[in-house]
Amino acid sequence: MTDASVFPAPVVQWSHPEDQRAGKPLLVLLHGYGANEQDLMGLADMLPAGFAIASVRAPLAMGQGYTWFPLTASIEYTLERVTEASAYVQEWIDGIRPHHPSVTLLGFSMGMAMATTLLRQRPQDYAAVVGLSGFAVDAGADPSFHDADLQGTVPFFWGRDQQDPVITADKIDFTMGWVRKHVKLTKVLYTGMWHGINQQEIGHVGEFLTHEVLNKQD
């Protein structure tokens, strides 16, 4: 069993030096399985400039990269490991939240599972969520997931390719049911993207973040 208390200190790559972050809305990037904190930072220059962007490294080494929680050969997971990882990220976010007027999450693949878990555990804490080529976990009746408190008001962007060969149909079906019930959904399908991110999608994400977060700052 992995105890979140023995995870390493978070490794974070920032878009701005420390003296330029305070007061900016925070956008937290959560990478996919086997990647690292540098993976999504390549998107930073294509995202709205008004954010302080932080890309967080997952805590578990996996091959040449890292993972938020272990997967089995059938691409399955245990909820306990998911919640350990979410607690790890949530503690880090809590430490820096006071310096930012809002926090938005962007997760790719497994990172989308992390982003949706964080939202479901603390629905009031996040301005918006972006999920790219990923899924939400089936949490059953786990009391740490507060889906009933999500009243369809949190803006949520979900982009994916229907031909994505990685995310299995059962995960897509669960996620589809979840987003329709619990968030203010913007869903866009892309072709030829497979399990990835393309420039058109990032353009749409930038528009979404500008409209739903930056334009609503006090």
Give the amino acid at 153: T
Task: Kindly state the DSSP code that residue 98 receives in the 8-state scheme.
Answer: G
pLDDT (0 to 100) of residue 72: 64
* Best CA proximity match to 160, nearest among 141, 173, 145, 148: 173
pTM score over 0.75: yes
Per-residue pLDDT averaged across 141-156, rounded? 96
The pLDDT mean for the chain works out to: 94
Per-residue pLDDT averaged across 114-131, rounded? 98
User: Coil, helix or strand for 133?
Assistant: coil
Map tokens 């790890």 to a residue: 88
pLDDT (0 to 100) of residue 102: 98
With contact defined as beta carbons under 8 Å apart, do 146 and 67 qualify? no
- The string of pLDDT tens digits covering residues 58-107 is 999 998 999 999 886 555 678 999 999 999 999 999 999 999 999 999 99
Q: Does 113 score more than 80 pLDDT?
A: yes
Q: What span, in angstroms and rounded, lies between the C-alpha atoms of 128 and 112?
A: 13
pLDDT level of residue 4 (50, 70, 90 thresholds): low
pLDDT (0 to 100) of residue 55: 98
- ∠ Cα 144 159 65 (to 5°): 70
* Best CA proximity match to 55, nearest among 117, 105, 107, 13: 13
pLDDT level of residue 110 (50, 70, 90 thresholds): very high
